[in-house]
A and B are shown apart, each in its own frame.
Chain A
Amino acid sequence: MTVNEIKGNKLAAVMKSARLLVRMNRAHADGRKSDTLYYQMLANYCERILKAKEEGRFFAAHSVFFPNEILYAMDIPSMHTEMTAWMTALFTGETADMLAAGAELGLASEICSAHRGLTGAYALGVLPRPDAILWSNLVCDNTAKCGELLMKINHCPGFFLERPFRNSDGEIQYLVAELKDMIGFLEEKSGHKMDWDKLSATVANMERQLEIYRDISELRKATPSPYHIQGFFQLLNTYYLFPGQPEAIEYLEAVRQELAEAVQAGKGAVPNERFRLMTLFIPPMYRMGFLEKLSQEFGAVSVTEPFFMHWGNGHLNPDRPLESIARHSYMIPEACSMYGPLTEESIKTITDSARDYKVHGAIYYANNGCRHTCATVKVFRDALSEIDVPMLTVDMDVVDPTFNSEDEMREKLQQFFELLEQR
């Protein structure tokens, strides 16, 4: 492990960019209220971490799908390792250095670039050093295995939250007990006490959040469909970073309102909707502008992303907050479709979505190194083909732009649209 800290903390740059976007959006006559609220949330998120660091207050980093609502209820600033690292890379262009630093630590290319790079980011000091690392095995071996190395790099303690694979009462109780242990760990390390009332309120808000997500999904069934591809990232990030937070509810309500108005006015995300698409996995985040342009050019709109947006029918009970958090972990769409177990139900979710949203075709963004997800490429292609929905597989790397070029992607997508046109 030889990477020396050669960079300064870049989170301040993300905060400044987010603030700039808020100002630009406000100044723009057509600026969406939801965008303003979203970037404001992001700026505040970064500021909270930076302030905690500056004041020497305890803050914790946590992996994806980690129940950070616990941290909010304990008033501990939190830093989402994956999203913070890759937002930083996007805003400051540090991708290559982060990936190289990960490789220099001895992380082989077996490890998905998202994790190689985020570990590299900590080694380089691109992200502020947390006081604790929290991680779980959701949603893959990369997350399950990332924590110990991050602890070592950051010279801090950590807690591994084990989330059992299958969803049975015994496993839920196991997870509840794990959550209790983790709260004990955090109380001891941070000196903060769990505020159980606040946790219940957070869970109640999460339930509201879920309802709004479901409403948003419902509105996207309209023809023409009103939501733009970048919006998907915002929804995802909001769920990752702000579970049960009032500002997230305000943002989601704004999105819902805007979509409802668009549906009412018959206004689609693209001027001439020709192709309704299902997106599987995450499109390359560094190509969002490019994809948006293609979407406009070809009249192709992503109407559903069931791996992330299919929230099912489950409900949370604020009176039993820990049990609700445990149950919630089995409701997370990614945990059902991307993680597993692969069941007839999870396959049906995809085919049902294709029907409900009247999709013409599906695009599976096969992320290099995301093993458990890519293992479903054929399964979902076969299932969709049975209901006559063609699926295009685009090999890509969700964070590394050198994996393929815009031209290659354009060609593939164009051919797919031509195929859809001929049908």
Chain B
Amino acid sequence: MTDLLQRGVRKLQTFEPFREVNNTFPKTAEILAWKQQGKPVFGWLCTYIPEEIIHAAGALPVRITGYSQEMELEDGNAYLYIDNCSFSRSCLQLGLRGGYDYLDGFIAGSTCDGARRLFDLWCTYVKVPFSHILTVPRKMTERAHELYYHQIQEFKERFEKFLGFQIKDEALRHSIEVVNRSRELLKSLYEWRKLDNPPIFGAEVLEVLNASFRMPKERFNECLSNLLQELSTADVRHTGRSRLMIVGSVMNNHEFIRAIEEQGGLVVADELCTSTRYWSDPVVLGDDEDPVKALARRYLNNFPCARMYPSDERFNRIIALARDFRVEGVISEIIRYCVPYAHDLPLLTSRLKEEEIPTLALDVEYGTSGSGQIQTRVQAFLEMLEAKRK
């Protein structure tokens, strides 16, 4: 196991494209080439924004993320203040320093204070030709679906006006198929993690997911198909001391998971908006159905974020995941000033306790690589899980 974990060493040949994209983001060769062809790129923030609409316009949807490592956030702090979540501060700083200067637009939702204010300050200080924020309901009722349908419809109309052409239903149907294909492939990738000895590490899965936000969907599907093909023939199998699941705030730095896996934790499942919550539910579209309606339903009903009400919907799905992936312990990571996840923690911990699944709660900064004190706490957690098993 250890030799596989050595930084930079990969046995899976098909992994390289993902790594390449992540190592060069936000200025990846593919995004720059896309722009050079005169095609637009739109940033989206938060998993409640339907990428399909951007894709159907022939534009490249790119997920807004911050720096991939923990760092000083002087600009982020100065603009968003120190008490906004470190994710939004990191994103804003990257934006202020020109990381996303290729964007033709920025689309966000009213998902949480951090995201809303990131959108506000982006529009005020980074500035983009097109910007839009959708009201995202917190409930999943029929009424909320209706509201969200109108929100997406309104966004689409404004977007079309900006682009100067209409997005045809056929184009939207095609985009739904393409993005659904990504979801299907990601589901297959996760199936591998259910094995006693999975052929892929949790850290690697996060790398794949990060790449999925940052490259054309068609190309991503092709790369992931290749990886899945290779996984089915590779003789790599990983072992670990305990099967773990990561839950909580947004995460992009796979080094955090790697640090846990280096200590022998086998991260087999995750409930993050950059992981399972991103891909878990497909868009179900009937033959005669309005594709925008189908999108509204999928995006609101998808595996809920901590912002949604009631929280039990999220907790139930976490527990189902834990059972499905035979998880022995849960690591909750909450990034600094991420209120929605921090608020859920007492209730989630008590639900997991009822299931006899211990939780380790870590307060981290966005981008953390999980070193130092975190390692000590993970080590103690793993020992506790081992003792529990005996």
Contact = CB atoms under 8 A, between A and B. Distances in A.
Contacts of A170: 147, 150
A341 B343 contact: no
B113 A145 contact: no
Nearest to A393: B81
Contacts of A368: 83
**Which of B83, B114, B124: most chain A CB closer than 10 A?**
B83
B310 interface: yes
Contacts of A342: 117, 120, 123-124
Contact of A371 (B84, B123, B138): B84
B346 A341 contact: no
Interface string B79-122: 11111110000000000000000000000001011101100110
A148 interface: yes
B349 interface: yes
A199 B118 CA distance: 39
A110 B364 CA distance: 11
Contacts of A112: 339
Given A162-B309, A371-B337, A110 B342 contact: yes
Interface in A367-414: 368-372, 374-379
Nearest to A152: B347
Contact of A111 (B112, B336, B342): B342
A177 B143 contact: yes
B117 A340 contact: yes
A342 B81 CA distance: 16
Contacts of A374: 80-84
Nearest to A146: B343
B73 interface: no
A110 B339 contact: yes
A137 B139 CA distance: 11
A162 B363 CA distance: 29
Given A141-B307, A162-B144, A110 B116 contact: no
Contact of B113 (A141, A149, A164): A141
Contacts of B347: 148-149, 152
B304 interface: no
B310 A148 contact: yes
A101 to B, nearest CB: 12
Interface in B277-329: 306-307, 309-311
Contacts of A375: 80-81, 84, 113, 117, 120-121
Interface residues of B, number: 49
Contacts of A378: 78-81, 121
A142 B137 contact: no
A144 interface: yes
Contact of B343 (A107, A164, A372, A376): A107
A372 B135 CA distance: 16
A142 B139 contact: no
A262 interface: no
Contacts of A160: 138-139, 309-310
A8 interface: no
Contact of B346 (A107, A140, A174, A377): A107
Interface in B318-363: 334, 336-340, 342-347, 349-350, 361, 363
A105 interface: yes
A278 B309 CA distance: 37
Contacts of A146: 343
B272 interface: no
Interface string A67-98: 00000000000000000000000000000000
Contacts of B338: 110
Nearest to B79: A378
B139 A162 contact: yes
B113 A140 contact: yes
Q: Which of A152, A170, A369, A372 has the most chain B CB atoms closer than 10 A to its own CB?
A: A372
Contact of B135 (A107, A144, A149, A171): A171
A366 interface: yes
A165 B113 contact: no
B81 A366 contact: yes
B155 to A, nearest CB: 11
A110 B82 CA distance: 12
Given A162-B309, A342-B124, A371-B85, A141 B340 contact: yes
B138 A162 contact: yes
A374 B337 CA distance: 12
Contacts of A145: 306-307, 339-340, 343-344
A184 interface: no
A1 interface: yes
A355 interface: no
Contacts of A164: 135, 137, 147
B211 interface: no
A31 interface: no
B143 A174 contact: yes
Nearest to B363: A108
Contacts of A379: 120-121, 124
B73 to A, nearest CB: 14
Contacts of B337: 110, 369, 371
B251 interface: no
B133 interface: yes
Interface in A327-343: 340-342
A252 B139 CA distance: 38
Contact of B342 (A107, A137, A177): A107
A94 B138 CA distance: 34
Interface in A210-237: none
Contacts of B144: 162, 174
Nearest to B136: A165
Contacts of A111: 339, 342-343
A106 interface: yes
15 contacts: A1-B346, A107-B345, A108-B345, A110-B336, A111-B339, A111-B343, A144-B138, A145-B340, A162-B137, A162-B309, A164-B137, A165-B116, A341-B110, A375-B84, A375-B113
Please name the 4 residue pairs, one residue from A and one from B, whose CB atoms are nearest each other, closest first.
Answer: A145-B343, A165-B110, A106-B346, A375-B117
Given A149-B343, A342-B117, A378-B121, 14 more contacts: A106-B349, A108-B342, A111-B343, A148-B310, A148-B311, A160-B139, A165-B116, A165-B133, A174-B147, A371-B113, A375-B117, A375-B121, A378-B79, A378-B81
